[in-house]
Structure 1
Amino acid sequence: MPKVADTHIVNRERVQPTHANNYDSAHGGLVMKWMDEIGAMSAMRAAEQSCVTAQMSRIDFERPVPIGDNALVESYAYATGHTSVRVRIEVSAENPHTGETELTTSAYATFVAVEDGKPTPVPDLRVEGEKCKELREKALAEEPDRDS
């Protein structure tokens, strides 16, 4: 049974001119792609199998990631359903010289585990240790209202 900490993934993408919009910052669609990919990796670690995106909450773009900065994409699974995995995803602009970061974008996503194209059950997600508890509690506290 996987733990929240097992699903925590951090990735960096250096924002190049080819990634930019007309305002010399990372194109929003590309940032969403990075979020979806890293979020899916967290979901797959939680599900211990392939997952597909089922839903992504409102994506909040707080500020841009300028050319030359790193887009620091961080995700972790914080809850599971019968066949689904809920994931928190955040992006920060990271200064490559100092390592200083500033939150730029955030979202919640739900992924569904699939086998042969059909939803399949996922294991429960364990919450062990202070870091796991903190991550899960933060995600649940900030999670947008859910219909289900």
Structure 2
Amino acid sequence: MPDLVDTRIQNRWMVQPNHANTLGAAHGGNVLKWMDEAGAMSAVRFSGETCVTAHMDEVNFKQPVPVGETAFIDAYVYGAGRSSVNVRAQVYREDLRSGRRELTTNCYMVFVAIDEANSPVPVPDLTVSTEQGEQLYEAALEDAPE
């Protein structure tokens, strides 16, 4: 069975002018795309199947990521149903020199595992066998929408 820490996907994007809105910060649509891509990769890593986005819940934009700065995306699976995969995704603005990060955006997503005919397929149970995994799991449940 897949372990939570093995589902974690972390990615970075340097915010370029073509990613920006009229205020010189990452356009919300680009941030959503980056979160969705990382979330899907996490769901695929967990399920071993192609996964499609079924739901994004309560996307909260807390602060911008200006052009020239780095968006750090962190996504992991924190739960699963019969064919559904629950993913928590967070975006941080990261200073590459110091490594300091500030949370800018967070979201909870549901993906569905599908086969070649685009029909839902079962996913495995999620295990949490490390202290780091337990911390991530508890953090996801603490903030998850009801």
Please confirm whether the aligned pair reaches a TM-score higher than 0.5, indicating the same fold.
Answer: yes
After TM superposition, the structure 1 = structure 2 runs for residues 70-81 of structure 1, keeping only pairs within 5 Å, are 70-81=70-81
Structure 1 position 66 matched with structure 2 position 71? no
Normalising by structure 2, we get a TM-score of 0.97
- Separation in 1, partners of 2:14, 2:88: 22
Give the letter aligned to residue 98 of structure 1. Answer: S
Structure 2 counterpart SS, 1:119: coil
Count, aligned residues: 145
The residue number in structure 2 matching 1:125 is: 126
- Separation in 1, partners of 2:90, 2:52: 19
After TM superposition, the structure 1 = structure 2 runs for residues 29-108 of structure 1, keeping only pairs within 5 Å, are 29-108=29-108
- Separation in 1, partners of 2:24, 2:97: 19
Structure 1 counterpart SS, 2:34: helix
The offset of 1:33, in angstroms, is 0.4
Structure 2 counterpart SS, 1:118: coil
Structure 2 counterpart SS, 1:5: helix
CA RMSD of aligned residues (A): 0.7
- Separation in 1, partners of 2:136, 2:48: 20
- Runs of 4+ in structure 1 deviating by more than 4 angstroms, as ranges, are none
Give the letter aligned to residue 130 of structure 1. Answer: E
Normalising by structure 1, we get a TM-score of 0.96
Identity %: 49
Stretches of structure 1 that go unaligned for 5 or more consecutive residues are none
- Separation in 2, partners of 1:77, 1:21: 30
The offset of 1:98, in angstroms, is 2.1
The residue number in structure 1 matching 2:113 is: 113
